[in-house]
Structure 1
Amino acid sequence: MKTTQRLESAIEKLYTAFHNNTLNPECCQQCAVGNILDNKDSWKYLSDSHGSLVLNYVGSVHQNLGRKFNGYSPLELLQIEQTFLNACGFQTPLHHQNKKPENPTDKDILFNGLCAVIRFLCELDGINNVMDYTKLFEVENDKPKYALA
């Protein structure tokens, strides 16, 4: 399957963070977007609230100028982060009174977040979800319909 460079890079960084235990939804440097942006937290200045889809003045300026951060626009970054947080069980935007998982760094919770983010990243690039394994189990005449590459 043909993918884009930004998608390949994002998946590699998220995969590494997941397996190195450096994925944390509550940290701007170690969340989904923080990892995609090389563990920088400068993206948090694009919005006034972590998990919000509303660009602030700085975010709007960057968006209107067509700026990209590791291939993603400011609005795409906010969408990626909100997707991750929601799939991890957070109520967004983050606030101390909003719902959050009991153990946000639990591997099962993070895996759910990663699957949602990768699905969303694939949608952004107009390709099939690379995490979709259902085709592996399709059969035709009692034989696998598709062969493993």
Structure 2
Amino acid sequence: MQTSKRLDQALQKLYTAFHNNTLNPECCKQCAVGNICDNTDSWKHLSDGHGSLQLNYVGRVHETLGRRFNGYTPLELLQIEAEFLKGCGYTLPLHHKNARPKNPTAKATLFKGLSAAIAYLCALDGIANVMDMQQLLAYTEEPTPVAETLG
């Protein structure tokens, strides 16, 4: 399956963060988009709240100018993060009164969040979800060979 450079880089960064235990949904530098943006929190200035899908003034300016951050537009980054957070079990936007997972850094929680984010990343590039096991394990039935000789 052919993937784009931005998707390859994002998947590699997310994979590394997951396996190095440096993925944290509540930290702007260690969340899905924080990792995609090289562990910086500069992307958080594109909206007024972590998990928000609304660009603020700074975000709208960058979007209007066609700026991209590691290949992704400001609005795409916000959507990637929202998918990740929803997959982890958060009610958006992040707020101390909103629902959140009991253990946000549990591997099972992070895996669900990453699966949601990766599905969205693949959809952005118009390719099949690389996490879809049915695609990975797809097979066709082989005809059963007929016995060549009897007896």
- The TM-score bracket by the shorter chain reads over 0.9
Residue 111 of structure 1 corresponds to 111
Q: For 2:98 and 2:12, locate their aligned partners in 1 and report how far apart those are by CA, in whole Å.
A: 31
Unpaired stretches in structure 1, ≥5 consecutive residues: 144-149
Q: Distance in 1 between matches of 2:82 and 2:115?
A: 13
Per-residue deviation, 1:2:
0.3
C-alpha displacement at 1:140, in angstroms? Answer: 1.9
TM-superposed deviation, 1:142: 6.9
Gaps of at least 5 residues in structure 2 are 145-151
Distance (Å, rounded) in 1 between the aligned partners of 2:28 and 2:143: 49
Distance 1:137 1:54 in 2: 39
- Deviation track 1:24-63 (CA, whole Å, cap 9, x = no partner) reads 0000000000000000000000000100000000000000
Q: 1:77 to 1:139 in 2, by over 3 A?
A: same
The Cα of 1:132 is off from its aligned counterpart by 1.3
Distance 2:117 2:143 in 1: 34
State how many pairs are aligned: 143
In structure 1, what residue type is equivalent to 2:4?
T
Instruction: Quote the Cα distance in structure 2 between the aligned partners of 1:130 and 1:90.
Output: 24
Per-residue deviation, 1:139: 4.0
The aligned residue for residue 126 of structure 1 is 126
Rate the CA distance shift 1:66–1:141 in 2: closer, same or farther, 3 A.
Answer: same
Over 3 Å counting, the alpha-carbon distance change for 1:142 and 1:134 in structure 2 is: farther
Matched, 1:62 2:43: no
CA distance in 1, matches of 2:133, 2:86: 23
1:97 alignment counterpart: 97
Out of 131-140 and 40-49, give the one that drifted further.
131-140
Letter in 2 for 1:10: A
Identity %: 66
Per the alignment, residue 23 of structure 1 pairs with 23
**Paired residue for 1:147?**
none
Counterparts of 1:126 and 1:137 in 2: how far apart (Å)? 19
Max radius of gyration: which structure? 2
SS at match of 1:140: coil
Give the distance between the partners of 2:143 and 2:68, measured in 1 at CA: 48
Looking at structure 2, the residues matched to 137 and 62 of structure 1 have their Cα atoms a distance apart, in angstroms, of 41
TM-score (norm 1): 0.93
